[in-house]
Chains A and B, each alone.
Chain A
Amino acid sequence: MPTAIEILPARTAAIAVAGTAGGPVECDRHSLAGSVTQRACVFCGSRVVLYPIADALHLVHGPIGCAAYTWDIRGAQSSGPQLHRNSFSTDLQELDVIYGGEKKLERALTVLIARHQPKAAFVYSTCIVGVIGDDVGAICKRVAAATGIPVLSVASEGFKGTKKDGYRAACEAVYTLIGTGDTAGISPLSINLLGDFNIAGETWIVRDYFKRMGVEVVATITGDGRVDDIRRCHGAKLNLVQCAGSMTHLAKKLRDEHGIPFLKVSFFGLEDMSAALYDTAKHFGDPSLLDRTQEIVRTEVERVYPELRRYKEKLIGKKAAIYVGGAFKAFSLVRALRTLGMTTAIVGTQTGDRDDYAQLREMCDAGTVIVDDSNPLELAKFCLEKDVDLFIGGVKERPIAYKLGIGFCDHNHERKEALAGYVGMLNFAREVHASCCSPVWQYVPRRNRKAEGLNAEGLKPEEAIS
């Protein structure tokens, strides 16, 4: 039965409304106990970042769940090896927990490395490893010496912080590879892409723009990633950080220890994609590079704009809710929706920080709900109150939208549609259009509630909280 939804008192400080007074959005905290957070854990943060390194072995050290739930779940494509799409686990059993999992880990690594011949191996610690105290680092060292490949421990015990700490652990692990390869022959106009995951081939789309500009992409660390590219990526002259939440830590390390500057960019939406290309060209300061960039932006925008305009005519005035992992994607989506004539009524993230929320407050229209680390009940409540037409999120948000008869666009890592770059913006517009303009919504109960005398929350007036 539909029920009026109450916001937990301990959660109210994490919610703000654009255009109104009030303190900063409370964020960067451990999730409230009992709140059905949409966040995952430290392990998830590490696994998600390193997953697309396609020629490495990714071994999850723990009981079966953590590996089973992350088997081939992402749309991160590889142009070559597909090793990353397997799920390897030490599958710890009760006796391992009692006697320790070190022997099993060493045996698993030895067997799997011999079988798959990876260029490197990552070992992810799960909750239980942090409790039983296996010396994962020591085993990694021993196996690395025996096999001759880097074997890297990722300190990703699920309870040791939030997903952000998992990003950090992943950056630390991958950083140990950097600086071990030969940088000879790298162009002075060269970049690395950090935090693009090559979902549905997005890295390839973006890479092509840079190639046409005459900029060499040395390593796409987290999308179609290769161990040998990462080893020599310190030879690049600039780092572009697309997913700021996950990879800023690595970019800072590369800046501080290898002197490589970085730019935070986004490849989603016409404005942000163009800004990323222009910022890169300006950074190198080569006038002919700027000319080539202008040419590319003009050509690409002209190619997609007529079709975008047709979608805009259909979508103008529609309202969207956004709930995504990181704030940079949220910024891009607010702008991309504007390109389509739509407004953002709700925007939230799992891992945004204070500055991110301040920026969202500034860039969103007055009345937009801004929320950190939300849960299904809150999201449902806001969607009903704001009467949105579209929800942009991941698989966990999808049923919230669909149950309430709201269109949905998957912008998470499980999607199989490329949404980055100019062609990605077109795909995004097509998907938003296909969802918002489907005839099915006219039949769903929520759209007919007024006829049945129900309020915005689907309640009879007497059931609502006064």
Chain B
Amino acid sequence: MSCPTSALQSSSPSALGSEEFPGPATNACKLCTPLGACLVYKGIAGTVPFLHGSQGCATYIRRYLISHFREPMDIAASNFAEHAAIFGGRDVLHSGLDNVTRQYRPELIGIATTCLSETIGENLPQLLHEYRARTAGAADQPALVHVSTPSYRGTHIDGFHATVRALVETLTLDCGSRISDCELERPSTNTPAGETGGAASGGLAIRHPLSAIRNPLALFPGFVSAADLRHLREIVAAFDLPVTLVPDYSETMDGPSWAGYEPIPAGGTPVAAVRALGQAGAALECGRILAGEARTAGTHLAKLGVPLHRLGLPIGLRETDRFCGALELVSGRERPASLELARGRLLDTMVDGHKYVFGQRAVVFGDEDFVIGLTSFLCEIGVQPVLCASGGRSRRFAAVLRATVPELPAKTIVREGADFADIEAAATELKPDLLLGPSKGYSLARRLDVPLVRCGFPIHDRLGGHRILHVGYAGALHLYDTLVNALLERKQENSEVGYSYL
């Protein structure tokens, strides 16, 4: 690509992405909020995502997600025309919901706004109230959940978490959770960021006797891959805990070949299971940036009396240890043998490969919580992160990252609100040995002539991006093998001798 590097360097502000009025973006390292909303809705069984706005938003998001997941990705829209933009979108919203109900027969329609409907001030609660009144008594009416996702506020990650929250808040209220049964002010728990010990320790509130939990664990995994969701389910099952994942697109977005067309692909978390979350035995919410948010799905459940554990994404050894620690506490069981073995394998491999990776300089980019997990892992294996960048703008990225990974060198550059021009400017000076992040970093890797270890979202230039495993001991092991082999391959190819035995 043509971006002259020197020109890009001149644009790189030294501040850590904290400008009050950020400038233009060149090759953004983020996507818009409705994308996150649509993916979450895809993780609820029988649900059709529905964007209230122009049809282009739905079409672009569909194309973007299809290129990553390679699965059908139907997103309906109210398909605004000029008339709706001027006089309001009541008619197109209502007829759109009618048409989706008729053609897809969904259990739930997940509605998200766009910048257009937000800016003209559409009153979704009112419009949906009218729609519910109009369709009251009709058979097979879907449940309606809506979330406000103006794309000028936050990123796809904010849209993702806002939608998880909207689902949980709306559906648990719908079913009249036993708020009266709960102690409303039960303290939520938060594993201290930066804790370096093995498991999440003391202070976690437990509602039930440790071994007696039969109410499911509510698990809010964050924006992870389909393979990650499946593995998280396995990990929790190993502790013999029932679990409700919100969302769970492990099957809807990574399903089998079909004999006939499935308007709504099978899989996803049942709506009834989300409704029942007020009765959850405990809640685990992954994401250290997310843990700083005042209102989330997790805090909502905490208000209903569900003990809340706020952890990081379980990426790497220590974050997975903490995740398992929380599960030990919730289940009252020791870490099961299968996970003990997986952990041992990871450690064994980290020893086998330690010399290949020690001191290698890495640039890490992607979503904030994802970068925090990866950075923690890299520091565990002896890779030196020289730049940790995200397009997210939580205003606490650096602080949370450093608290989670206290050994991160002070000179490591941490940038939030970064775009790929910023990342390129910094990376060109830093001369890293490798990049880690989504495939949007490929052109940079090509210019720097270093390997890109593809992980996170999106992966648009390889098959199986949605099946990359990042979480748990098995995920760390997979990342480790991939990273070491990328370095070995580069070394082998650049070698004049070309040894076949390394």
Interface residues of A (CB under 8 A from B): 1-3, 5-6, 8, 10, 30-44, 59, 62-73, 81-83, 85-97, 104, 107-108, 111-112, 115-116, 126-128, 130-132, 158-161, 376-377, 380-381, 384, 395-396, 398-400, 402-405, 444-446, 448-449, 452, 454, 457-459
Q: Is the CB of A88 within 8 A of B96?
A: no
Q: Which residues of A contact B120 (CB under 8 A)?
A: 131
Closest Cβ of chain B: how far from A126's Cβ, in Å? 8
How far does the alpha carbon of A96 sit from the alpha carbon of B25 in the complex, in Å?
14
A66: which B residues are within 8 A, CB to CB?
56, 60
Closest to A70 in B: B60
Do B70 and A402 touch across chains, with their CB atoms under 8 A apart? yes
In contact, A115 and B8 (Cβ under 8 angstroms): yes
Contact present for B66 and A398 (CB under 8 Å): yes
Given contacts A33-B96, A37-B55, A63-B115, A8 and B102 within 8 Å (CB-CB): yes
Given the contacts A82-B2, A449-B260, A399 and B53 also touching, CB distance less than 8 Å:
no
What's the Cα separation between A33 and B90 when bound, in Å?
A: 11
Q: A32 — which chain B residues lie within 8 A by C-beta?
A: 79, 95, 99
Min CB distance A464 to B, Å, is: 10
For A130, what are the chain B residues with a Cβ–Cβ distance below 8 Å?
A: 85
Q: Does B7 contact A (CB under 8 A)?
A: yes
**Which of B63, B93, B266 has the most chain A CB atoms closer than 10 A to its own CB?**
B63
Whether the Cβ atoms of B79 and A37 lie closer than 8 Å is: yes
B80: A residues at CB distance < 8 A: 127, 158-159
Residues of the A chain whose Cβ atoms lie less than 8 Å from the Cβ of B260: 2-3, 384, 404, 446, 449, 454, 457-459
Establish whether residues B153 and A94, one from each chain, have CB atoms under 8 Å apart when the complex forms.
yes
> Which A-chain residue is minimally distant from B34 (CB atoms)?
A65
Contact A159 B54 (CB under 8 A): yes
**Nearest residue, chain B, Cβ from A96:** B152
- Which residues from A are CB-within-8-Å of B77? 33-34, 36-37
With A2-B262, A131-B116 already in contact, the answer to whether A396 and B63 are too (CB < 8 A) is yes
Extra contacts, 9 of them, besides A69-B31, A97-B115 (Cβ < 8 A), are A8-B103, A33-B95, A35-B79, A66-B60, A85-B1, A104-B23, A377-B261, A396-B59, A445-B256
Do the beta carbons of A34 and B96 come within 8 Å of each other? yes
- A86 and B3 form a contact (CB under 8 A): yes
Residues of B within 8 A of A44 (CB): 56, 59-60
Q: Which of these, B2, B31, B50, B54, contacts A127 with CB under 8 Å?
A: B54
* Contact of B150 with A94 in the complex, beta carbons under 8 Å: yes
Contact residues, B202-246 vs A (CB, 8 A): none
Interface size on B, residues (CB 8 A): 86
B201 at interface by CB-CB < 8 Å: no
B152 to A94, Cβ gap below 8 A? yes
Q: Find B21's partner among A104, A384, A398 (CB 8 Å cutoff).
A: A104
- List the A side residues contacting B26 at CB < 8 Å: 86-88, 112
Q: Are A400 and B72 in contact (CB under 8 A)?
A: yes
Using A35-B99, A116-B3, A158-B54 as known contacts, say yes or no to A404 and B258 having CB atoms under 8 A apart. Answer: yes
Let me know if B82 and A160 touch, CB within 8 A.
yes
Q: How does the 8 Å CB contact mask read for B26-55 relative to A, with 1 for contact and 0 for none?
A: 111011101100000000000000100111
Which B residues touch A381, using CB under 8 A? 261
On whether the beta carbons of A69 and B25 are closer than 8 Å, the reply is no
Closest Cβ–Cβ distance, residue B88 to chain A (whole Å)? 12
Contacts of A97 in B (CB 8 A): 115, 119, 150, 152
CB of B115 within 8 A of CB of A127, answer: yes
Shortest distance between the CB of A261 and any CB in chain B (Å):
34
At the interface, yes or no: B105 with Cβ under 8 Å from chain A?
Answer: yes
Q: Are B59 and A64 in contact (CB under 8 A)?
A: no
A87 CB contact (under 8 Å) in B11, B28, B61, B67: B28
Shortest A453–chain B CB gap in Å is: 11
A72-B443, A82-B1, A130-B85 given; A112·B72 CB < 8 A: no
**Closest A-chain residue to B60, C-beta based?**
A69
Residues from 91 to 133 in B contacting A, C-beta threshold 8 Å: 91-93, 95-100, 102-105, 114-116, 119-120
Closest to B120 in A: A131
Question: Does chain A have a CB within 8 A of B495?
Answer: no
A159 to chain B: which residues have CB within 8 Å?
A: 53-54, 80-82, 84-85, 116
CB distance from B117 to the nearest CB of A (A): 9
Residues A127 and B53 in contact, CB atoms below 8 Å apart: yes
Expressed in whole angstroms, the minimum distance between the Cβ of B118 and any Cβ of chain A is 9
